[in-house]
Chains A and B, each alone.
Chain A
């Protein structure tokens, strides 16, 4: 099925550990982005990419790193996990400038203890 696939669905990390959240799409979308969702704050943009090899920061980039080596994949790396990074993370993609709307993955629920 076409769409955005995120792995893992759940993860518990200890403070200071690093990990990579995976995101892959098979719709040949140029735009990909990572959001985090926290209660009462809606979705906040972490990083985004307008095409392979091009990434930029969103609202809350600190503590996260991204790369875009292919059109399909857009992994999000947590460099040294902190409890403040406990959140639900969503990857989204869109074609062109996003006028058709974004397609979202099902999310990764991350807990940092």
Chain B
């Protein structure tokens, strides 16, 4: 069973509009959760992480995510996107043994003018 599920493979949005990228995790994943961004032809860069504490986590480039234990979700949000946010976004979680990072299948964010 997929341990980290990203519900949308592609999200088109207009510049300056808000966006939410959805991520759900299963019980085989710990609550150490991450969002990574991959720009075209590049490696992955850490956007933000949740380890414990406040359920609202702020990251780089104006992104934030909210950890919701009851809904087993860790959705990524940005109130106003830019063309430069066009990229693929990956949700990931450490497995319960803390030895492996398990990735979702990715969501491609397409920002148009």
Contact = CB atoms under 8 A, between A and B. Distances in A.
* A and B are partners in one complex rather than unrelated chains: yes
Interface of A: 31, 33, 35, 40-45, 48, 50, 56, 58, 90, 92, 94, 97-107
Nearest to A50: B99
Interface in B86-113: 90, 94, 98-106
Interface of B: 6, 9, 32, 34, 36, 42-46, 49, 51, 90, 94, 98-106
| SS class, residues of chain A in contact with chain B | strand
B94 A40 contact: no
Contacts of A99: 32, 49, 51, 94, 98
Nearest to B48: A101
Contacts of B44: 43, 90, 92, 102, 104
A48 to B, nearest CB: 6
Contacts of B49: 99-101
Closest 10 CB pairs of A and B: A97-B98, A42-B105, A104-B43, A101-B46, A43-B103, A104-B44, A42-B103, A106-B43, A42-B106, A101-B49
Nearest to A91: B43
Contact of B99 (A48, A90, A107): A48
22 contacts: A40-B9, A42-B90, A42-B103, A42-B105, A43-B103, A48-B99, A48-B100, A50-B99, A56-B99, A90-B43, A90-B44, A97-B94, A98-B94, A98-B99, A99-B49, A99-B51, A100-B49, A101-B49, A103-B46, A104-B36, A104-B43, A105-B43
